[in-house]
Amino acid sequence: MLFRATTDADLDRVTGFPVDDPVSKIDAERYLDELRQGMYRPEWTWIAEHDKRVVGRALWWGQASNTHPVALDCLHVDATVADRANVAAGLLRAGLRAFAQQGAPKPPLYNLTLPNGWRDDESVAAAVAWRRDAARAAGLTDEVERLRLEWTPEIGVPAASGRLVFSEGSDEEFLDVFRRIAVGSLDLETRRNLAVKGPEVTAREEMDFYLSCPGERSWWRLAYTTDGTLVGLAIPSATPYNRNVGYLGVVPELRGRGHIHDVLAEITRIHAEQGAELITATTDTTNAPMAAAFARAGYRTAQIRLLYSAPGS
């Protein structure tokens, strides 16, 4: 079995590789479109070959401005292969090793996109099982399950309650609030980062990530009560595809008072007033208060995502 990155000469073999599993499909049209935009690249596209036949494919993705890939979008091994998990793990190890040698600061995560109720569909559950085994064997052992949510205009724009006042702030002010709201967070990634890196590094990395996203820094807001007490922050953001909720949070001492609903409503209004036709968001399935806030605001669960990452990455 040969595992290698592709070249331009492999393009037809990559786009012609049949993907018949019910999860994380990337068709030829999308691949070619995002290849032209620099979000897929030949050196980020890896194949497994046996007797000169492509039997596996891994498509890593990144923003056009990225030097290294951010996430694995699609992993597939031909159904005729006896041990699909073993071949997939070899493909992942080869790609992750190459990215590390090229200077990637951390292994890209694996983003597995699934339909709602995926555990009740035997074919989907089976497709997940061998991919999970492969991810873990390749060192991506941290698993998080997330809701992928959507707002569209027919849901309606939430009215301001008048309980909070929103204003712009300096980078130093935002960094301080990132640091404060990380404490006691129910978000699994934040909790892991706090345990490994501490609050200062966790806050800085969160803020740097959102500064690097396609959204505008001018959208960011700090939230205060009407008497001037700091409540939290609202980070409307964007992906290369659409507007995004980004990041929001309430400082620990003011949690449990319903402020999160006002903060989420502010993000939704900012995007809606600028004409957004779709706003996406994600939250961990274990973060019940945040999931409830999205449901109350009318956001619908469109997909489930399983994320696999290396410990501490």
pTM of the model: 0.87
Number of H helices, E strands in the chain: 8, 12
Measured between alpha carbons, how far is residue 210 from residues 204, 205, 219, 246 in Å? 10, 9, 11, 7
Q: What is the CA radius of gyration of the chain?
A: 21
**Coil/strand/helix, residue 235:** strand
Enter the tokens of residue 102: 């090229």
| Helical pair 171-182 and 188-212, crossing angle rounded to 10 deg | 170
Phi/psi of residue 13, nearest 5 degrees = -70, -35
Phi/psi of residue 103, nearest 5 degrees = 100, 10
CB atoms within 10 A of CB 105: 9
Nearest to 88 by CA among 131, 150, 31: 131
Enter the tokens of residue 123: 């074919």
Confidence (pLDDT) at 313: 67
- Rounded CA-CA distance 243/115 in Å is 21
Q: Identify the bridge partners of residue 56 per DSSP, sorted by sequence position.
A: 48, 77
Confidence (pLDDT) at 25: 86
Measured between alpha carbons, how far is residue 187 from residues 36, 73, 222, 280 in Å? 35, 22, 20, 17
Helix, strand and coil percent figures for the chain, each rounded to 5: 40, 25, 35
pLDDT along the chain (313 residues), means of 10: 97 92 90 97 98 96 94 95 97 98 96 95 96 98 96 94 96 97 90 90 94 95 97 96 96 95 97 97 94 96 96 76
Contact between 74 and 24 under an 8 Å Cβ cutoff? The reply is: yes
